[in-house]
Amino acid sequence: MSTSSLIFRIKYIIVLILLSFTSCIGQDTFSIVAVDPKTGEVGSAGASCVDLTNFPNFATGFLGELFPEEGAINSQATYLSQNQTNARNRFNNGETPQEIIDWLVANDVQNQSQQRQYGIVRLVDGTPQSAAHTGVACLDYKNHITGPNYSIQGNILLGHGILDSMEARFLRAEGDLACKLMAAMEGANVIGADSRCKDNGTSSLFAFLKVAQPNDIFGNPALSLGVRLQNGQGIEPIDRLQDDFNVAHSCTSPVLQNLEFDNLFQVYPNPANDQMTIKSLNEEEYRYKILDLSGKILLQGNLSNEEILDLSKFTNGNYILEVLKDQKYFSKIFSKT
């Protein structure tokens, strides 16, 4: 055998080994992705009965990718990093969640989309959309639940009740998106939620939660928590995640406060025609959004001093102007005539 042939075979074997690692560590997982159309926050949380201490180079949140102020993708079941990369590229190309799902299913790197599971959310023209895929070859129990701004998915679960509990906790929780995601994770805090962890006396072996603020950089979310434990320790990772969450974040009071608009901003003319000016009376930077009365975002941007807003495409009627900064928001009704 020639030296070049030997080198080729060695490289081929190394690639196969790497693929086997990256395609097995994401199995038996429950997770959620969600977006808050009001604040622009996006988040991902999940857990799995995979001993990530054997994979030190993988972050606990490797299954989820956040796109600040846009959306999130979770890739799981028989995880393959190349599929995750393709999902990211389709997202960056501007595709909707369902379009991304359809493409991933049709173009799986190994032609095995029946073994994959995805959950995707995105703000499309200010309105949240979600989509999910659960391949028929994912191990039971497997399924997903989608709502307007969230997707919950899992495989090798104790049963459908795990997904139902996560959804109920997410919808019922008060506070911001991080608080809702943490509540969803507590909904799966059941021994054997990931059925392979039943003998360990836990729901899972690793758990994560992360939330990106609108101005965050991709790959560096403002909140990122993760817990990894060894098989046999018998310690519940969601309990540990909750402990870390309580230190890093507060859910004791409503996060958003609606404050006096006219003390900080001027809006004129109101009623407006094709243009309206919003002016800040201080030197702070804000974000603004214009919504219709159903809550759909029609226009958004940054406000540092004064902005002239183009309303020429708006139909006549009443609209909501919101100005946001950190955990505060200011709102005012205006009219287009």
pLDDT at res. 325: 82
In a domain, 4, yes or no: no
pLDDT at res. 260: 75
In a domain, 6, yes or no: no
76 and 174 housed in the same domain:
yes
pLDDT at res. 328: 75
Neighbouring C-alpha atoms within 13 Å toward the C-beta of 298? 18
Query: Final residue of a domain: which of 216, 248, 280?
Result: 248
pLDDT at res. 11: 44
231 and 319 housed in the same domain:
no
Give the Å distances, CA to CA, from 21 to 78, 110, 120, 154. Answer: 10, 15, 24, 20
d(CA 251, CA 255): 8
pLDDT at res. 2: 58
pLDDT at res. 267: 93
Helix (H) or strand (E) holding 320: strand 317-325
Residue 90: CATH number of its domain: 3.60.20.10
pLDDT at res. 258: 55
- Determine the structural domain holding residue 306 and report its residue range: 257-336
Query: Final residue of a domain: which of 185, 217, 248?
Result: 248
Helix (H) or strand (E) holding 268: strand 265-268
pLDDT at res. 295: 65
Please, which residues have CB within 8 angstroms of residue 300's CB and are 6 or more apart in sequence? 126, 287, 288, 289, 290
In a domain, 2, yes or no: no
Kindly state the DSSP code that residue 78 receives in the 8-state scheme: S
41 and 159 housed in the same domain:
yes
Judged by DSSP in three states, 106 sits in: helix
The total of structural domains in the chain comes to: 2
pLDDT at res. 27: 56
- Cis (ω within 30 of 0) for the bond into 68? no
Phi, psi of 193, deg, nearest 5: -50, -50
| Residue 51 structure tokens | 């001993």
pLDDT at res. 9: 55
Q: Are strands 286-291 and 317-325 parallel, antiparallel or unpaired?
A: antiparallel
d(CA 259, CA 138): 49
d(CA 162, CA 181): 14
d(CA 142, CA 129): 22
Please, which residues have CB within 8 angstroms of residue 76's CB and are 6 or more apart in sequence? 26, 27, 29, 31, 46, 48, 63, 116, 117, 118, 153, 155
In a domain, 159, yes or no: yes
Query: Final residue of a domain: which of 192, 213, 248?
Result: 248
141 and 283 housed in the same domain:
no
HEC secondary structure over 150-213:
EEEEECCECCHHHHHHHHHHHHHCCCCHHHHHHHHHHCCCCCCCEHHHHHHCCCCCEEEEEEEC
Q: Output the tens digit of pLDDT for each of the chain's 337 residues.
A: 555 555 445 444 433 333 344 444 555 589 999 999 989 999 999 999 999 999 888 899 999 999 999 999 999 999 899 999 999 999 999 999 999 999 999 999 999 999 999 999 999 988 999 999 999 999 999 999 999 999 999 999 989 989 999 999 999 898 999 999 999 999 999 889 998 999 999 999 999 999 999 999 999 999 999 999 999 999 999 999 999 999 899 886 444 555 678 889 999 999 999 999 999 998 889 999 898 765 678 899 999 889 999 999 999 988 888 888 876 778 888 889 8
- Counting every residue, how long is the chain? 337
In a domain, 200, yes or no: yes
In a domain, 216, yes or no: yes
